[in-house]
């Protein structure tokens, strides 16, 4: 009964399904409306060789299926699903393979950011493939250190996807109130407008998005916008119709139940799921 409730609440709105075919089909629905898809295989803190191989095989399969030069398909990889929980060298080897395969088809690859204790190793992982121009790094505005990290990456010509963040962190590591997080997000966003030619604003907050659009009417930067699949799909459609470059972040994979239980314990994701119930999600 509980699994059925979770499937109704989460799988149909947020998670594409268990297979590569599921995420490709969900992505095509967005693509038909001119909206890009960022595909992410579910799984974190993987330590078994079998689980890591499953994650890698899923990304290989996506990259095998997409057409060369497909600007509406991107992938996003969590470091601990490609070996970081085993060793940095394993993660770097697997990440290098993904970037190489994606580069052969001119597909963009993001590195997701996870818990705060992994920030340094995640930045190091990203930097290992920075000479390849088809890569970007997620940064979380609720972490107190993020402005400094964004400056370090941007100075090396890295590409940033800026999110608010939703992992549970201690007070000395992360801002806690919405006002504090929003303030830091906007300050980092302004820094990106001043110092980066291309970046992604990943937020469901229309005030932040409209602020970015207002700034960019003057700055003319290459700004992409992204939201989690199933939260504000209609808003993505509206932004695309206004000429913005927009993407839906689409998780998929066999472990969606475990992932969803864990995420629903975090206030940020509960809020997102509840918000999705208030908006039409017909895509």
Instruction: Over range 145-155, report the average pLDDT.
Output: 98
- Kindly state whether residue 181 falls inside one of the protein's structural domains: yes
- Kindly state whether residue 281 falls inside one of the protein's structural domains: no
Instruction: Over range 230-234, report the average pLDDT.
Output: 91
Percent of the chain past pLDDT 70, that is, above it, reads 86
- Kindly state whether residue 32 falls inside one of the protein's structural domains: yes
Residue 167: per-residue pLDDT:
87
Residue 208: per-residue pLDDT:
97
The answer, yes or no, to whether residue 1 has pLDDT greater than 50, is no
Residue with the bigger pLDDT between 212 and 2: it is 212
Residue 199: per-residue pLDDT:
98
Q: What are phi and psi of 78, to 5 degrees?
A: -90, 130
Residue 259: per-residue pLDDT:
62
Q: How many domains does the chain have?
A: 1
Instruction: Over range 80-93, report the average pLDDT.
Output: 97
Residue 85: per-residue pLDDT:
96
Is residue 108 within 8 Å of 134, Cβ to Cβ?
yes
- Kindly state whether residue 243 falls inside one of the protein's structural domains: yes
What's 63's domain CATH number? 3.20.20.220
Residue 11: which pLDDT band, with cuts at 50, 70 and 90? low
- Kindly state whether residue 283 falls inside one of the protein's structural domains: no
Instruction: State how far the Cα of 137 lies from the Cα of 122, in Å rounded to an integer.
Output: 9
Give per-residue pLDDT as tens, 13-69. 788 989 999 999 999 999 999 999 999 999 899 999 999 999 999 999 999 999 998
- Kindly state whether residue 282 falls inside one of the protein's structural domains: no
Is residue 31 within 8 Å of 17, Cβ to Cβ?
no
Q: Is 281 exposed, middle or buried (0-12, 13-18, 19+ CB in 10 A)?
A: middle
Residue 270: which pLDDT band, with cuts at 50, 70 and 90? low
- Kindly state whether residue 148 falls inside one of the protein's structural domains: yes
Q: Kindly tell me the sign of the dihedral angle through the C-alpha atoms of 243, 244, 245, 248.
A: negative
Name the nearest CA neighbour of 4 among 229, 260, 231.
260
Give per-residue pLDDT as tens, 157-215. 999 999 999 888 999 999 999 999 999 999 999 999 999 999 999 999 999 999 999 99
Expressed as residue numbers, the domain containing 138 is 2-276
Residue 269: per-residue pLDDT:
56
Q: What is the mean pLDDT of the chain?
A: 90
Name the nearest CA neighbour of 30 among 278, 275, 260, 240.
240
């Amino acid at each position: 009964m509980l699994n059925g409730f979770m499937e109704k609440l989460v799988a149909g709105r947020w998670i594409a399904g268990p297979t590569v075919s599921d995420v490709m089909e969900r992505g095509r629905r967005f693509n038909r409306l001119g909206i890009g898809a960022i595909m992410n295989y579910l799984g974190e803190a993987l330590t078994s060789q079998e689980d890591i191989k499953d994650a890698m095989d899923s990304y290989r399969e996506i990259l095998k299926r997409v057409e060369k030069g497909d600007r509406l398909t991107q992938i996003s990889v969590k470091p601990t699903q490609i070996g970081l929980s085993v060793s940095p060298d394993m993660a770097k080897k697997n990440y290098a393979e993904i970037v190489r395969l994606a580069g052969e088809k001119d597909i963009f690859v993001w590195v997701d950011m996870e818990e705060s204790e992994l920030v340094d190793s995640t930045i190091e992982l990203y930097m290992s493939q920075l000479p390849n121009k088809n890569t970007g790094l997620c940064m979380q505005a609720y972490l107190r250190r993020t402005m400094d990290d964004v400056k370090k990456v941007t100075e090396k010509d890295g590409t940033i996807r800026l999110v608010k963040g939703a992992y549970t962190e201690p007070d000395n590591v992360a801002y806690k109130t919405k006002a504090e997080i929003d303030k830091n997000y906007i300050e980092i966003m302004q820094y990106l407008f001043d110092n980066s030619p291309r970046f992604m604003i990943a937020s469901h907050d229309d005030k932040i998005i409209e602020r970015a659009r207002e700034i960019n009417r003057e700055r003319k930067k290459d700004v992409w916008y992204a939201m989690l699949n199933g939260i504000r799909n209609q808003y993505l459609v509206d932004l695309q119709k206004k000429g913005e470059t927009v993407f839906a972040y689409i998780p998929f994979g066999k472990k969606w139940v475990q992932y969803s239980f864990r995420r629903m314990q975090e206030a940020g994701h509960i809020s997102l799921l509840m918000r999705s119930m208030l908006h039409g999600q017909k895509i």
